[in-house]
Amino acid sequence: MIRLAFRKVDHPEEGGPRLAHLDRDRRLVEAAQADPARFEALYRKYLAQVYSFAYYELRDHHEAEDATERTFLAALTNLRRFEERARPADGEGASTFRVWLFQIARNAVAERRRTRRRRPETSLEAAAAIAAPIDIEGDAAIHDDATAAWRAVDRLPGDRRRALVLRFVDEMSTAEIAGVLGRSEGAVRVLIHRALRSLARDLGDPRR
């Protein structure tokens, strides 16, 4: 079930626009709603983000691809039901499409979790191996840092890990994460703050 709702945030008066850092997708979405063939622009724009989110959640290349595929197929077939929730005060062209897309991705990931076989979670090495040629190829020191950061994030409880990945990997605003996770902005802020505090302890002194 795809939830179209974008949660009302708490304390909207405290941080300027209600939905900060919204992507400017409104025109792309309207074009795709009029002509589904133009959905490709949205697909190319968000493929890596959705895949990253799915991979961090599922830690398996094939399952992440499967969840990504389901996400975009569901988004395309339900695009006409998408309801824009961004307001004029959020900026010209502001769109909640990314929030909606990640709500679908979150559901797709949850579905994969429910249906997949039980397997030992030893794919962190594979994760680092996949990440290596893309972002940190040829630099062993950086590779070690990435692996350590990945492991530390992976040890976090589900909600904290999810919020951190959306914040750092997908570079979402707190308002967007609140929409994806179905929580208030305040709850997301506390979630991320506690996650960072746990990681600071886990990783030790980052200056080393």
Partner 1 sequence: MTGVFAGRDGHDVDALVTDRYLDALLAAHAHGGERSPAASESSPAGSESSPAGSELEQRLRRTADRLDRDLPRLHPSFRFEEALAARLADVAARMRLPTTDVAARMRLPTTVGAAGVVVPIAGRASEPRAGGRDDADLRGAAGSRDPRATSRRPRVAYGRPLLIGGALTSAALSLAGAAYVAWRLNRPAVGPMARAVRAVARTRLA
Summarize as ranges the residues that interact with partner 1 (CB under 8 A): 14-15, 20-21, 35-37, 39-40, 43-44, 47-48, 51-52, 55-56, 64-65, 68-69, 72-73, 76-77, 130-131, 134-136, 142, 145-146, 148-150, 153, 164-165, 167-169, 171, 173-174, 186, 189-190, 192-193, 196-197, 199-200, 203, 205-207
Q: Determine the Cα–Cα distance for residues 141 and 132; give it in Å rounded to an integer.
A: 12
Torsion of CA 162, 165, 167, 173, to 10 degrees: -50
Q: In this structure, what token pair is assigned to residue 82? A: 């998408």
Any idea what DSSP says for residue 8? P
- SS3 labels along 96-160: CHHHHHHHHHHHHHHHHHHHCCCCCCCCHHHHHHHHHHHHCCCCHHHHHHHHHHHHHHHCCCHHH
- Please choose, from the candidates 50, 71, 21, 52, the residue with its C-alpha nearest in 3D space to the C-alpha of residue 176: 21
Provide the minimum distance between the beta carbon of 65 and partner 1 in the complex, in angstroms, as a whole number. Answer: 5
> Nearer Cβ to partner 1, position 86 or 165?
165
Provide the minimum distance between the beta carbon of 103 and partner 1 in the complex, in angstroms, as a whole number. Answer: 19
The answer to whether the beta carbons of residues 146 and 134 sit under 8 Å apart is no
Provide the minimum distance between the beta carbon of 12 and partner 1 in the complex, in angstroms, as a whole number. Answer: 12
> Nearer Cβ to partner 1, position 86 or 178?
178
Provide the minimum distance between the beta carbon of 119 and partner 1 in the complex, in angstroms, as a whole number. Answer: 20
> Nearer Cβ to partner 1, position 118 or 134?
134
> Nearer Cβ to partner 1, position 4 or 187?
187
Hunting for tokens 């909640």 — which residue is that?
96
Provide the minimum distance between the beta carbon of 155 and partner 1 in the complex, in angstroms, as a whole number. Answer: 13
The answer to whether the beta carbons of residues 181 and 162 sit under 8 Å apart is yes
Q: Determine the Cα–Cα distance for residues 99 and 176; give it in Å rounded to an integer.
A: 6
Provide the minimum distance between the beta carbon of 142 and partner 1 in the complex, in angstroms, as a whole number. Answer: 7
> Nearer Cβ to partner 1, position 118 or 133?
133
3-state class of 194 per DSSP? helix
> Nearer Cβ to partner 1, position 87 or 197?
197
